[in-house]
């Protein structure tokens, strides 16, 4: 069973697909740092190409195409690619900020290039992650694939708080200075006075954090934890746990600021694995 991983990032989706029994036949991404990490962990070279420049005739024909899209401008490009390569099944991953409210709240079924598709928003917090990151998944089948039931999206109700990801002996360099804390409190007061719900706070115990932001290395936006001696930011390892990556995952020597950014943009491996396992049974991909 061959799968393609488009906009592959550091390989979260490929980890999940491989765990479900798929072979990764091709991956592409234009981020050179992400590509380095992907190759280190997944073991295949990533094509540093945009999807628009791919030649489908030079790519192994897949049973499944996975695409994690974060720009609306890429949707028509992806549509054209799918129309040329015709995989048996597709999985698209979108941040919910990109999706029309009608699709998110009303339309459970859509048509994409002739593929009958089903939509579902999955909250990572329901699958044992300590962050409330909501992701829209679209799963579709090719028109000639005779499946007469909707796609069975995986379900879970496992909850783990932020305490489950914290290091026992975090570095003291993670502590927030008194001056920085004063600045954060000032921002919190300003945002509250303007009616914004967003604010930086300290998360402990069973608390679930908001979505981990890609700019975390700059301002620890929204997420601090209690070190016992004062508020601190998350370490790179804790961010790795927060995003569902194993501790053996190798970041190829990248500094922490790049780890934070890449993890915030990554696909959650265990959720992709659950989706892929259901697809194997649903679409008879074996």
Whole-number pLDDT of residue 19: 96
Asked if 120 and 179 sit in the same domain, the reply is no
Asked if 72 and 131 sit in the same domain, the reply is yes
Please state, for a pLDDT cut of 90, what percent of the chain lies above it: 51
Whole-number pLDDT of residue 102: 46
Asked if 89 and 224 sit in the same domain, the reply is no
Mean pLDDT to the nearest integer, 183-196:
74
Nearest alpha-carbon partner for 37 in 217, 212, 259: 259
Range of the domain at 57: 2-156+267-282
More confident site: 77 or 182: 77
Mean pLDDT to the nearest integer, 97-102:
63
Q: How many CB atoms lie within 10 A of CB 40?
A: 16
Asked if 110 and 191 sit in the same domain, the reply is no
Exposed e or buried b for every residue in 194-221, given b needs 16+ CB within 10 A? eeeeeebebbeeeebbbbbbbebbeebb
Asked if 124 and 235 sit in the same domain, the reply is no
Asked if 141 and 229 sit in the same domain, the reply is no
Q: Name the percent of the chain in helix, strand, coil, to the closest 5.
A: 35, 20, 40
Asked if 202 and 181 sit in the same domain, the reply is yes
Classify 61 as helix, strand or coil. coil
More confident site: 13 or 109: 13
DSSP-assigned states of every residue in 8-57: -TTSHHHHHHHHTT-EEEEEE-S-HHHHHHHHHHH-SPPB---GGG--GG
Asked if 14 and 140 sit in the same domain, the reply is yes
Asked if 80 and 198 sit in the same domain, the reply is no
- Residue 138, pLDDT > 70, answer yes
Q: Are 263 and 244 in contact (CB under 8 A)?
A: no
Q: What is the CATH number of the domain that holds 176?
A: 3.90.120.10
Residues 6+ apart with CB under 8 A from 169: none
Asked if 184 and 207 sit in the same domain, the reply is yes
- Residue 8, pLDDT > 70, answer yes
65 φ/ψ angles, rounded to the nearest 5 degrees: -120, 125
Whole-number pLDDT of residue 106: 46
Q: How many domains does the chain have?
A: 2
Whole-number pLDDT of residue 114: 85
Asked if 99 and 9 sit in the same domain, the reply is yes
Q: What is the CATH number of the domain that holds 152?
A: 3.40.50.150
Asked if 247 and 106 sit in the same domain, the reply is no
Tens-place pLDDT, residues 213-229: 888 877 666 789 988 77
Tens-place pLDDT, residues 78-89: 889 998 899 999
Tens-place pLDDT, residues 154-176: 998 889 999 999 999 888 898 88
Whole-number pLDDT of residue 227: 80
Q: What's the CA gap between 246 and 268, in Å, rounded?
A: 11
More confident site: 222 or 255: 255
pTM comes to 0.89
Pairing of strands 115-123, 209-210: unpaired
Question: Can you give the C-alpha Rg of the chain in angstroms?
Answer: 20
Q: Are 242 and 234 in contact (CB under 8 A)?
A: yes
- Residue 267, pLDDT > 70, answer yes
Per-residue pLDDT band for 101 (boundaries 50, 70, 90) equals low
Whole-number pLDDT of residue 215: 84
Whole-number pLDDT of residue 107: 55
Both tokens assigned to 14: 């490929």
């Amino acid at each position: 069973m061959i799968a393609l991983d488009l906009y592959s990032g550091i390989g979260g989706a490929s980890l999940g697909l491989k765990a479900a029994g798929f072979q990764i036949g091709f991956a592409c991404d234009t981020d050179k740092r992400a590509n380095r990490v992907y190759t280190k962990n997944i073991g295949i070279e990533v094509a540093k190409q945009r999807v628009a420049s791919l030649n489908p005739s030079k790519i192994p024909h897949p049973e499944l195409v996975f695409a994690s899209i974060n720009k609306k401008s890429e949707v028509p490009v992806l549509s054209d690619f799918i129309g040329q390569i015709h995989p048996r099944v597709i999985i698209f991953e979108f941040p919910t900020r990109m999706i029309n409210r009608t699709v998110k709240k009303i339309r459970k079924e859509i048509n994409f290039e002739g593929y009958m598709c089903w939509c579902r928003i999955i909250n990572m917090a329901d699958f044992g992650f300590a962050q409330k990151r909501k992701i829209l998944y679209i799963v579709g089948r090719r028109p000639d694939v005779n499946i007469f039931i909707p796609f069975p999206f995986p379900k879970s109700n496992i909850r783990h708080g932020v305490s489950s990801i914290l290091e026992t002996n975090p570095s003291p360099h993670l502590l927030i200075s008194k001056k920085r804390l004063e600045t954060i409190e000032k921002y919190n007061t300003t945002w509250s006075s303007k009616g914004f719900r967003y604010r930086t706070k300290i998360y402990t115990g069973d608390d679930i954090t908001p979505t981990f932001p890609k700019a975390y290395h700059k301002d620890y936006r929204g997420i601090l934890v209690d070190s016992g001696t004062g508020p601190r930011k998350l370490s790179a390892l804790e961010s790795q746990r927060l995003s569902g990556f194993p501790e053996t995952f190798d970041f190829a020597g990248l500094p922490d600021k790049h780890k934070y950014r890449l993890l915030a943009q990554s696909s959650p491996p265990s959720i992709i694995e659950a989706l892929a396992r259901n697809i194997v049974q649903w679409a008879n991909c074996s």
